Amino acid sequence: MNAPPPSLQPKAGSLRLEVALQLLQQSGLALPDTRQSDPAGWLQAVLDGLCELSSRDALTGLANRRQFELAMAREIDRVARAGEPALVLMIDIDHFKRVNDTHGHPAGDEVLRAVGQALHECIRPMDTVARFGGEEFAMILPNCPPAFGQTVAERVRNKVQSRPVSIAPGVDVSVTVSIGGAFAPQWVRSSAALWIERADQQLYRAKQDGRNRACLEMPPVSHVSAEEKGLLFGHSQFQDLE
């Protein structure tokens, strides 16, 4: 989209930014003190801050579902083109309702924050971890070979299990998670919904088998011809963004 001519572009001082600034202040984001000297740069900082807020879960600070699904779409595109492995993990806190019912919702919030922090400590810079909804979290792990998938999932599970959560002075609760995982089909342009559904099936199996465990679906071995691989290098929705 072409930008409007300078005569039609709104000035930062004429925009109604009070609510946006209140949101940024509440989130703890500090804006540069350049509103008068560099209004364009200051306004860009406001826009960047709002984009950051819109992509994060307010309670845990992790990526939210919207940001996670965008990351999944990008990863599916990459896997289809490069044929490299990628793993998605769906992670659910075991018996979370019991925490809320026994200790109250503030305690449940502490558990969510603690689990989110533990998961964040498990990822690499290239990975994405998000609060998917409620007590469910999700991870995307690019370049994760199937031979290492179970080890990675167990490391995540053990990280959470080994960290009791303090919900009040002198009161700790033990937390465990169940994990379901699935690998993206290589050289295939799948969809985020199908990928998540396969991981959710494994999560259901982990719950049925007793919770506090990780179940992964191993990727099928597929043979793709050179011609089929070439077809994957057609138009991509992400090419327009580069």
241, 212 in Cβ contact below 8 A? no
Cβ atoms < 10 Å from Cβ of 190: 15
d(CA 198, CA 91): 13
Of the residues 135, 197, 217, 228, only one is catalytic, namely 135
Q: Which of 31, 55, 49, 176 is nearest to 111 (CA)?
A: 176
The angle formed by the CA atoms of residues 97, 115 and 215, to the nearest 5 degrees, is 80
Q: Which residue has the tokens 């999944």?
A: 72
Residues 6+ apart with CB under 8 A from 58: none
User: In b/e form, how buried is each residue of 51-75, taking b as 16+ CB within 10 angstroms?
Assistant: eebebbbeebebbbeebbbebbebb
Angle at 157 between CA 154 and CA 158, to 5 degrees: 85
Half-sphere CA count of 148, side-chain side, radius 13 A: 11
Report how far residue 176's alpha carbon sits from residue 155's, in angstroms, rounded to the nearest whole number.
12
Q: Specify the DSSP element, H or E, that contains 171.
A: strand 171-173
Q: Which helix (H) or strand (E) holds 82?
A: helix 65-82
Task: Check if 136 is active-site.
Answer: no
- Residues labelled as active-site residues: 135
